[in-house]
Chain A
Amino acid sequence: MIFTVLIPLILACFIPLLSKIKEKIHTGVFVFFIPFIIFLYFIQFVGNDFSPVRQTFRWIPSLGINLDFYLDGLSLLFALLISGIGALVVLYSIYYLNKTERLGHFYVYLLMFMAAMLGVVLSDNVFVLYTFWELTSISSFLLIGYWHFNERSRYGALKSMLITIFGGLSMFGGFVLLTVVTDTTSIQAMIEQKDVILNSTYLPLILGFILLGAFTKSAQFPFHIWLPDAMEAPTPVSAYLHSATMVKAGLFLVARFSPVFSTYEWFFIIVSLVGIVTLCWGSYMAVRQTDLKAILAFSTISQLGMIMAMLGFGTEIAVFAAVFHILNHATFKGSLFMVAGIVDHETGTRDIRKLGGLITFLPITGTLALFGTFSMAGIPLPFLNGFYSKELFFESSLDLAGASTFADLLAQAIPYLAVFGSIFTFVYSLYFLFGTFAGKADLAKLPKKPHEAPFGMLVSPIILVLGVILIGLFPNVVNGTFLAHAAEAIKGVSIEKHITFWHGFNYTPLQMTLIVVGLGLVLVLTRKKWAGAYHILPGKLSLNRLYNAILDKLDDWTKDVTQSYMTGSLRLYVAIIIGATLVVTAIVMLVTGGFNIQFNDLADVTAIEVSVVVIMVIAALGTIVAKNNVSAILILGVVGYGVAILFVLYRAPDLALTQLVIETVTVVLFLLCFYHMPKLRKRNESAGTKTINLIISIGFGALLTLVGISAHSSKWFDSIADYFIETSKPLGGGHNIVNVILVDMRGFDTLFEITVLGLAALAIYSLIKLKKGAK
């Protein structure tokens, strides 16, 4: 099973080589066999006596991250969709993409995506699942931006990337929490421990995070906005990723985890509510679109919402209907996208306002579209699979009950919302079909003269439409062999639902369907009259506008924040650094009781010390008020010499010597560069700034004084000075303890301080000598 994931990845490495000969053979021909073989591999599992298969490959065992693959009914359904539709899409793309395109790039991305998607549906390990999940986001990003010279493509790619990666990251958070709670990384093991998860205090967080990931990936309200913009991708990509596979990854995730959460009240509320809202909003918005692919995008959103809602219901019939509709939607939506691609390819436009009457030019395509749209609309004809799943959807929406008041209210409202959404589904389906193929053709508006597509391009949609019809005619063939296993994986019990076309007139779902068809027809015929409703809702309220505003404002806000403190003023930075140090240190010292002031261990103060310190204090204050550079540095010299005298007083002749030399050199250096330095001037700062500076400086001085006193007052162990006094002569061979320490005991420090001086000298030399632009 691992090979099905790895083969596309490995072969993706060879595609660039194969694409070199694309002038002779279209690269897609080589690629076609990969999904086809994978499809053949998976088809052998289909059957009544299927039982789950597990394979494990060690990857990072120490972290519990292994390539665990688990093939149950749900994974099998998705794997077959991915490989089957993948093969059809590759076949379609051979005729759709010209040889002048960068085919190598296209098929590398596509194979990468296929491998990632297979990885998502087959993984049993949450972290491996997350890895493949992000790989689908990245490859989808690359595919949407395939025509990267197109501004809209780049915008759409970035948008889908931001939204799906946002969701992916939150899903990762949920996975980490799950792993922490259950102490396992295997999804099946988590399902076995569902009591632990359901009793965990983190349950709302886990559910929220995982659902956020699923909703963003599956384009649920309000995260659906990336999907219409992803339509800038080449049509095979739209057909494959944005109708059949990737957008169903979120559904897969919800289905995969619903054995854990399905008994949790909020799972029902959130998933059903979001799904049903997405259904209504997507189908409502689809009617206003003018681009064929945009109609299909909103249609996908709404259909995904419908499946999501059914997963949220969680009853046996709803789960069965959900997996059934996953299959059905993939067939008819894939074919419709291909139809839209053919129309675009053969007429040069996808704008439904310019199209019309194409049935005479594109008879086969028109017929395919007819089946696809009628199936999508759920029109009660016995050879369309969309009708069965829609009827099952209505049926499942009827017998819902919630435990709490709110959930109960929701359960009551769902049938009405379902009918409402389905009416608009009906409207946009007919709008799509008749807007393109019926009416009078206006050839002057079309960039190209339309004619029927080449046969190769029609093969894939024909196969998909055959799927629509065959499932419609013999719904129970896929049922037991295939869908029952998928539903069993979600629900835990075997669901054997016999699908029949006719239940009699006293069957509520049929009445609901009739209402949908009746009201839908009325709305289709009067569409021009009520189109003004879109000015009221959404009107100016647009989630795209919100998204753009957030991005723009985020830029502005972060810029404002950065510019508010990154002013380029060193004075401000120093004030911030010292102020922050002051506040943090003071708080830490106060909270931990670090201030400790004792007077029992002090030496006597002599008159000489006092007089030296008084002189230094006066000089230090004098430096602050000095009027010009020279006087400031001369007064500062007094402080330096005072320090030297203090060293003398405290019997440190070496320090005193060094201090004197350094002080003198510093004074001379200052004098050297005064020639180039600006004159001291009065700063025109506001009183507030001055006060703050004063507070910071005094506070910092006081703080350091307190810290120094506290450090002196809290001596926890003896000094090691005695060791040096005793061993300076016998070990170091010198009487001067300071110098013995510097060159013998701690010689390393001295070495690197010499290095520092050397570097400083070199730096000064190069600063002076090497001028900008000089050779």
Chain B
Amino acid sequence: MNNLLDITEKLVNISAIICTIGISISLLLLLIRVMVGPSNADRAVALDGIGINLMGIAALLSVIIVTTKLNDVVLLIGILLFIGTLAIAKYLEKGVIIDRDVD
């Protein structure tokens, strides 16, 4: 029984590390998109992707270092990412982020 738990823990660890490496590669590729992306829309989408990957990394890290303290971080990244992407999208669309009151 004990043995089985050990094996599970190792499996979890190994898969977390594999996932982290995968996400890192994905981050690098996204980064290339951010840098070369012909239009700013490309960059915005890539940044959004980076954010989601960061959520993943944060979650995986909390698995690796065995803590629950990072769950807030994961959630926060999600919210901020949404807001940030929205702001960028609006900026790219309209040139401004906050509309002035017309009336």
Q: Do A and B bind each other?
A: yes
Q: Which residues of chain B are within 8 angstroms of A653 by Cβ–Cβ distance?
A: 69-70, 72-73
Question: A636-660: which have CB < 8 Å to B?
Answer: 637-638, 641, 644-645, 648-649, 651, 653, 656-657, 660
Instruction: Select the stretch in A144-152, A664-672, A677-685 that faces chain B.
Output: A664-672
List B34-66 residues whose CB lies under 8 Å from chain A. Answer: 34-35, 37, 40, 43-44, 47, 50-51, 54, 57-58, 61, 64-65
Q: How far is the CB of B96 from chain A (nearest CB, A)?
A: 6
Chain A 602-628 interface mask (CB, 8 Å, partner B; 1/0): 000001100110110011001000101
The residue on A at minimum CB distance from B25 is A611
A505 sits at the interface (CB 8 A): no
Which residue of chain A has the shortest Cβ distance to B58 in the bound complex?
Answer: A648
B2 touches A (CB below 8 Å) = no
Answer yes or no: A630 CB below 8 A from chain B CBs. Answer: yes
**Given A608, A615, A630, A657, which contacts B73 in the complex, CB threshold below 8 Å?**
A657
Please tell me if A634 contacts chain B, counting CB pairs below 8 Å: yes
Shortest C-beta distance, A630 to chain B (Å), equals 5
Contact A648 B61, beta carbon cutoff 8 Å = yes
Rounded to whole Å, the gap between the CB of B50 and the closest CB of chain A is: 6
A671 close to B34 (CB less than 8 A): no
Chain A: interface size category: 35 or more
Name the CB-closest residue of A to B86. A668
A661 vs B72: C-alpha distance when bound (angstroms):
12
A706 at the interface (CB under 8 A from B): no
Contact A641 B40 (CB under 8 A): no
A657 touches B76 (CB 8 A): yes
Contact yes or no, A638 B31, CB < 8 A: yes
Given A630-B40, A631-B40, A653-B70: A671 and B88 interface contact (C-beta under 8 Å): yes
Residues in B with CB closer than 8 Å to A672 are 96-98
CB-nearest residue of chain A relative to B36? A622
Is there an interface contact between A630 and B43, defined as CB atoms closer than 8 Å? yes
Total interface residues on B, CB under 8 Å, equals 40
Contacts known (A631-B43, A649-B61); A675 close to B95, Cβ less than 8 A: yes
Indicate if the CB atoms of B47 and A651 lie closer than 8 Å: no
In the bound complex, CA of A638 to CA of B53 (Å): 12
Q: Do residues A622 and B34 form an inter-chain contact, with CB atoms below 8 A?
A: yes
Interface: B14 (CB within 8 A): no
CA distance in complex: A609, B34 (Å)? 21
Q: How distant is the Cα of A618 from the Cα of B65 in the complex, in angstroms?
A: 26
With a cutoff of 8 Å between Cβ atoms, the chain B residues found around residue A675 in the complex are 95-96
Which chain B positions have C-beta within 8 A of A619?
A: 31, 34-35
Minimum C-beta distance from B73 to chain A (A): 5
Check if A664 sits within 8 Å of B69, measured CB to CB: no
Report yes or no: A645 in contact with B58, Cβ–Cβ below 8 A: yes
| Complex contact B27–A615 (CB within 8 A) | yes
- In the assembled complex, how far is the CB of residue B91 from the closest CB belonging to chain A, in whole angstroms? 5
Residue B65 contacts which of A634, A651, A667 (CB distance < 8 angstroms)?
A: A651
In the complex the two chains form, is A648's CB within 8 Å of B73's CB?
yes
Q: A668–B70 contact, CB under 8 A?
A: no
CB atoms of B76 and A638 under 8 A apart? no
Q: Within the assembled complex, what's the spacing in Å between the Cα atoms of A139 and B15?
A: 92
Contacts of A628 in B (CB 8 A): 40
A-B contact count (CB 8 A): 108
CA distance A637 to B92 in the complex (A): 16
In chain B, positions 63-103 with a C-beta closer than 8 Å to chain A are 64-65, 67, 69-70, 72-73, 76-77, 80, 83-84, 87-88, 91-92, 95-98
- Is B21 positioned at the interface, with any CB of A under 8 Å from its CB? yes
Q: Digit string of A345-386 for contact with B (CB within 8 Å is 1, else 0)?
A: 000000000000000000000000000000000000000000
Q: A615, A626, A628, A668 — which one has the most chain B CB atoms within 10 A of its CB?
A: A668
CB-nearest residue of chain B to A628: B40
A646 to chain B, nearest CB (A): 11
Q: Using CB atoms, name the residue of chain B closest to A661.
A: B80
**Contact status B31-A618, CB under 8 Å:** yes
A674 is an interface residue with CB less than 8 A from chain B: yes
Contact partners of B65 in chain A: CB under 8 A: 651
A664 touches B80 (CB 8 A): yes
Q: Which residue of B57, B61, B77, B95 is within 8 Å of A660 (Cβ)?
A: B77
Instruction: Knowing A615-B28, A634-B43, A645-B57 are in contact, say whether A608-B70 is a contact too (CB < 8 A).
Output: no
Distance in angstroms between the alpha carbons of A558 and B60 in the assembled complex: 64
Q: Are A664 and B43 in contact (CB under 8 A)?
A: no
Contact between B73 and A638 (Cβ–Cβ < 8 Å)? no
**Considering the chains assembled together, what is the distance between the CA atoms of A672 and B96 in angstroms?**
6
B13 within 8 A of A: no
Q: Does A635 contact B (CB under 8 A)?
A: yes
Checking A631, A657, A664, A674 against B84 with a beta-carbon cut-off of 8 angstroms, the contacting residue is A664
CA distance A402 to B28 in the complex (A): 91
> Within 8 Å CB of B40, what residues of A?
628, 630-631, 634
Min C-beta distance of B86 to chain A, whole Å: 9
Of all chain B residues, the one with the shortest Cβ separation from A653 is B69
Whether B47 lies near A638 (C-beta < 8 A) is yes
Which residues of B sit under 8 angstroms from A618, Cβ to Cβ? Answer: 28, 31, 35
B88 surroundings in chain A (CB, below 8 A): 630, 634, 667, 671
**Closest CB in chain B relative to A108 CB, distance in Å:** 66
Contact of A608 among B20, B28, B44, B84 (CB under 8 A): B20
- A15 to chain B minimum Cβ distance, whole angstroms, is 69
Smallest CB gap from B47: residue in A: A634
Distance from A202 Cβ to chain B, minimum over Cβ atoms (Å): 68
Provide the residues of chain B in CB contact with A674, threshold 8 Å. 91
| C-alpha spacing A735/B34, complex, angstroms | 40
Contact present for B58 and A638 (CB under 8 Å): no
Q: Which chain B residue lies CB-closest to A608? A: B20
Instruction: Choose from A622, A641, A651 the contact partner of B67 (Cβ within 8 Å).
Output: A651
Given the complex of chains A and B, what is the CA–CA distance between A614 and B25 in angstroms? 11
Give the distance in Å from the alpha carbon of A637 to the alpha carbon of B27 in the complex: 13
- Nearest B residue to A631 via CB reads B43
Q: How far is the CB of A55 from chain B (nearest CB, A)?
A: 81
Shortest Cβ gap from B68 to chain A (Å): 10
With A and B bound together, what is the CA distance between A611 and B95 in angstroms?
A: 35
Contact with B along A486-526 (1 / 0, CB 8 A): 00000000000000000000000000000000000000000
**Which chain A residues lie closer than 8 Å to B98 at the CB level?**
672
Q: Are A635 and B34 CB-contacts (below 8 A) given A630-B43, A672-B97? A: yes
Contacts A608-B64, A657-B72, A672-B98 aside, 12 further interface pairs with beta carbons under 8 A come to A608-B61, A611-B20, A618-B28, A645-B58, A649-B61, A653-B72, A656-B58, A656-B73, A657-B76, A660-B77, A671-B87, A675-B95
Residues of chain B at the chain A interface (Cβ within 8 Å): 17, 20-21, 24, 27-28, 31, 34-35, 37, 40, 43-44, 47, 50-51, 54, 57-58, 61, 64-65, 67, 69-70, 72-73, 76-77, 80, 83-84, 87-88, 91-92, 95-98
Q: Can you list 18 A-B pairs with a CB-CB distance of less than 8 A?
A: A608-B20, A608-B61, A611-B20, A615-B28, A619-B31, A634-B44, A641-B51, A644-B54, A645-B54, A648-B61, A651-B65, A651-B67, A651-B69, A656-B73, A660-B73, A661-B76, A664-B84, A668-B97
Shortest 9 CB-CB distances between A and B: which pairs? A611-B24, A664-B80, A622-B35, A671-B91, A668-B87, A653-B69, A630-B40, A634-B43, A664-B84
